[in-house]
Structure 1
């Protein structure tokens, strides 16, 4: 029974990390204001939400299966308070901290219309912290951390998220400036000056 729970915990943890990474990439895409993969912005936003909820399901199964597995030696308090676990307290603590932040993001998302968009966005920024915590937890506490397939999964997740962040940052700098009367006048003045110089 413990072996089955341990395998379930490991598998759902890896799937949860992959889905969470995809949700983060989709969230970055939504914030950019662009469409992706032929989907309009609202479609990307819906996909982001659905993938994030699916990731939560797998992460929830991951936590519960390891809680009932005697090998992990988790107590009820370990599910909420980080760095108290008997087994690998630091690495499991990072996972607990990530789970706490994830819960805060989900609760504020569900209460978005009551708490307001500003408070929702402020808490939602925590995803940029909880994602690296989740990756570090998987590498530090995962029994498959040295396996090539696991390293490939983590590498793909990291490349996708870092690529999305880089794409988002460069897109911001390439965003066209709004056309205003002052900009039109400045452009006309420059053209007139250059034509006078050339003549």
Structure 2
């Protein structure tokens, strides 16, 4: 695989992972907001979990495909050990940490019955850090980050997540706000 194909593939996988992560965060917030306002969360918790899993798979693929990049010549430690690479060290580390936190979030969700719901909630409440780190990673290191499409993607994602987070944290005044 030549560097151009690996580079294009890793960019596509990274953006796909980001969109899936954004949708996972949005469906998680929306489902919990519905519950908060006395409505059934519906299919949103299932969508939230499924989208998070697919975001993780795509993020892992995004990272692994860098090994085949012959332009930068990454080694495994560069791809999987934060701060090990000399190529854009900080944004690479942010991406690696985001991936590990995403994996941790998904693993703790899978074992939440074993660790208890209280501990799981305390861990899961930190999952927005994954979204923030992924956003920073993409904006900082993404070669397409300045393109109109990428700017629109990040803007729509951040505004949507912010609105849903606002609704989730807002005090309950009306049970009909989401209808």
Band the TM-score falls in, shorter-chain normalisation: 0.7 to 0.9
Give the corresponding residue for 2:163.
Answer: 163
SS in 1 for 2:69: coil
Point out the structure with max Rg over C-alpha. 1
Give the corresponding residue for 2:136.
Answer: 136
Indicate if the aligned counterparts of 2:64 and 2:79 stay in contact, CA closer than 8 A: no
Give the corresponding residue for 2:33.
Answer: 32
Structure 1 alignment gaps of length 5 or more: 177-199
TM-score w.r.t. length of structure 2: 0.88
Structure-2 separation of matches of 1:149 and 1:42: 31
SS in 2 for 1:70: coil
Aligned length: 172
Indicate if the aligned counterparts of 1:21 and 1:131 stay in contact, CA closer than 8 A: yes
Give the corresponding residue for 2:145.
Answer: 145
Indicate if the aligned counterparts of 2:56 and 2:99 stay in contact, CA closer than 8 A: no
CA-CA distance at 1:110 after TM superposition: 1.4
CA-CA distance at 1:42 after TM superposition: 4.2
Deviations 1:129-188 (A, max 9, x none): 111111010011111111111111111111111111111122x34267xxxxxxxxxxxx
Distance 1:66 1:34, change over 3 A: same
Give the corresponding residue for 1:124.
Answer: 124
Which runs of structure 2 are paired with 1:70-109 in the superposition (5 Å)? Answer: 70-109=70-109
Structure-1 separation of matches of 2:73 and 2:118: 40
Structure-2 separation of matches of 1:69 and 1:118: 43
Deviations 1:97-150 (A, max 9, x none): 101111111111111111111121122122111111110100111111111111
CA-CA distance at 1:46 after TM superposition: 0.8
SS in 1 for 2:35: coil
Structure-1 separation of matches of 2:90 and 2:100: 15
Deviations 1:67-112 (A, max 9, x none): 3213344332234431221210001111011011111111111111
Structure-1 separation of matches of 2:107 and 2:6: 28
Identify the range of structure 1 (26-35 vs 90-99) with the bigger mean alpha-carbon deviation: 26-35
Greater RCO between the two (CA within 8 Å, min separation 6)? 2
